[in-house]
Structure 1
Amino acid sequence: MIITMNLKENKQKSLKIQQDGDNPDVDQIENQMKVGMEKIRLNYIIPIKDGEHRLHNSWTFWYLKFGPNFDWEHSQIDVATFSTVESFWGVFDRVIPLTETHHGCNYSLFKYGIRPIWEDPLNRNGGRFVFTINKDMSGEYKNHAMELWTEFCMLIVGYQNSMICERICGLVGGNRNNQIKIAIWIDHYQPRQNVYDIGLFLKQLVGYEKSVHFEMHNMEMVKQQQQQQSNERHYSFDI
């Protein structure tokens, strides 16, 4: 059975399965995450068990932390790949919340086979919608940021809108000193109207009131467009 519905409807069932001990593979992830995400290198594909609810795609959860000898490609940690509702919630509910990670950390959730770097062939001609949540002294930003992160994860994994989800490669959440950034990556920066419509849908989905910025990944292509003095600037705009 392929899941194309809101994953909220399946969360309690999947959590009960985990609590009953029928998913020991996910428990392996939890045990290792207790020592801190930056110490993990699992590269683990969670097996599909009888009775679980299949997702439309398989997804890989990645972790990145800036530090000495940092490199965008080789510093990415492949944590786990899942293909069912149960294993999605098993991973999602066991990782440290995005808002509680170290500053300079990224979480990424991408379709299996796509790395969370723009140089990946399936990302190279694409771009990203950037949502930002500014931090405040009260800590209220944490709830807002986690609501956005959770909604976007459920959207893409649950395949809630097939036309839009087909174009989404993944999303990246980053904890920075002054803000939380969430970027949704799509496969191509054109056609512009379609890209704009995707951004508008995402914005309305979570009730985001600020402008959403879209930008291409490949800045070399941007430079070429600038040199050609294109009449249409497809590579960067606000929604």
Structure 2
Amino acid sequence: MTEIIEGQEVIKTALNDATDYNVTHGLNSQWTLWFDNPSRRTSTSNWTANLKEIVTVQTVEEFWGVHNNVAVPFDIPNGSNFHLFRKGITPMWEDTANANGGKWGYQFQRSIGEKVNEHWLNTLLACIGETFDSSPDVCGAVFSNRKNCFRIAIWTRNAADKVACENIGRHLKSVLGVNQPLEYLPHSESTKVAMYTV
């Protein structure tokens, strides 16, 4: 949508009018932010009730509006998680989009401090910007604040697709700027043995 001023069409974006823009930049997919604090749960049913859907974004402007107005990951309580998943996918292993998939993850020592916020933001931007070679296979991202570490993970749809999984893992390594190996764990594997390593 554009605005007509003195007979001329004027396009106002957030870049040239941060408060009264009339053009937005759509994302390829809609993404939903979720939050949970599992340290308070006592059973699976309570965990499901504790998982809260916060907001769905469909434009770049909405993403930044949300990002700038929610707690930074470093500040969420120990035991809590942020989840950013494609709209329609619940951040649970049982969701049909996740059931045959798995996750790439990396643990940061707590000594990294608030720099972890930057790593999480870079992960979010890679997701909403669809920068993974196999982006359609990315279901979402999870940030976990734990007593001894911070964890960032990317969840994928299909653990059997080695090429897609490894592409996603290599890109996550680049996004996080880490040199250590990342391991891919399928959701269905009860022994939690890494299926792939990049």
Using the size of structure 2 for normalisation, the TM-score is: 0.83
Structure 1: 5+ residue stretches without partners:
1-11, 23-48, 224-232
Matched, 1:103 2:62: no
Is residue 14–residue 86 contact of structure 1 (8 Å, CA) maintained in 2?
no
* Aligned residue number for residue 121 of structure 2: 150
Listed one character per residue, the Cα deviations across residues 73-114 of structure 1 (whole Å, up to 9, x for unaligned) are 332100001100000001111111001110000000000000
Alpha-carbon shift at residue 68 of structure 1 (Å) = 4.0
Report the AA paired with residue 146 of structure 1. N
Pairing 1:82–2:57 present: yes
Higher strand fraction: Structure 1 or Structure 2?
Answer: 2
What is the one-letter code of the residue matched to 1:195? C
Contact map agreement 1:15 1:89 (CA 8 A) in 2? no
- 1:160 partnered with 2:128: no
Displacement of 1:197 in angstroms is: 2.6
Contact 1:62/1:76 (<8 A) preserved: yes
Cα pair 1:15 1:86 within 8 Å, conserved: no
Residues 99 and 199 of structure 1, relative CA distance in 2, 3 Å threshold = same
Distance 1:141 1:79 in 2: 25
- Cα deviation for residue 160 of structure 1 reads 2.6
Counterparts of 1:14 and 1:80, CA distance in 2? 23
Trace 1:77-226 onto structure 2 (pairs within 5 A): 77-136=52-111, 140-143=112-115, 145-161=116-132, 163-219=133-189
Secondary structure of 1:115's partner?
coil
Tell me the equivalent position of 2:6: none
Task: Give ranges in structure 2 of 5+ residues lacking alignment.
Answer: 1-12
Matched residues in 1 for 2:72 and 2:16: separation? 17
Q: Kindly indicate which of the two structures has a greater share of residues assigned to helix.
A: 1
Q: Following the alignment from structure 1 to structure 2, what is the Cα–Cα distance between the partners of residues 50 and 70? A: 47
Cα distance in structure 2, aligned partners of 1:70 and 1:52: 42
| Whole-angstrom CA distance in 2 between matches of 1:148 and 1:15 | 28
Paired residue total: 184
SS in 1 for 2:122: helix
How many angstroms does 1:158 deviate by? Answer: 1.4
| Contact 2:181–2:197 (Cα < 8 Å) also in 1 | yes
Calculate the aligned-residue CA RMSD, in Å: 2.5
Match status 1:57 vs 2:29? yes
Aligned structure 1 segments of 4 or more residues deviating by more than 6 angstroms: none
- TM-score norm. by structure 1 comes to 0.70
Distance in 2 between residues matched to 1:171 and 1:208, nearest whole Å:
17
Distance 1:164 1:81, change over 3 A: same
1:156–1:165 CA contact under 8 A, matched in 2: yes
- Matches of 2:123 and 2:16, distance apart in 1: 20
Q: Is the 8 A contact 1:62 1:79 kept in 2?
A: yes
The answer as to whether partners of 2:137 and 2:164 remain within 8 angstroms in 1 is no
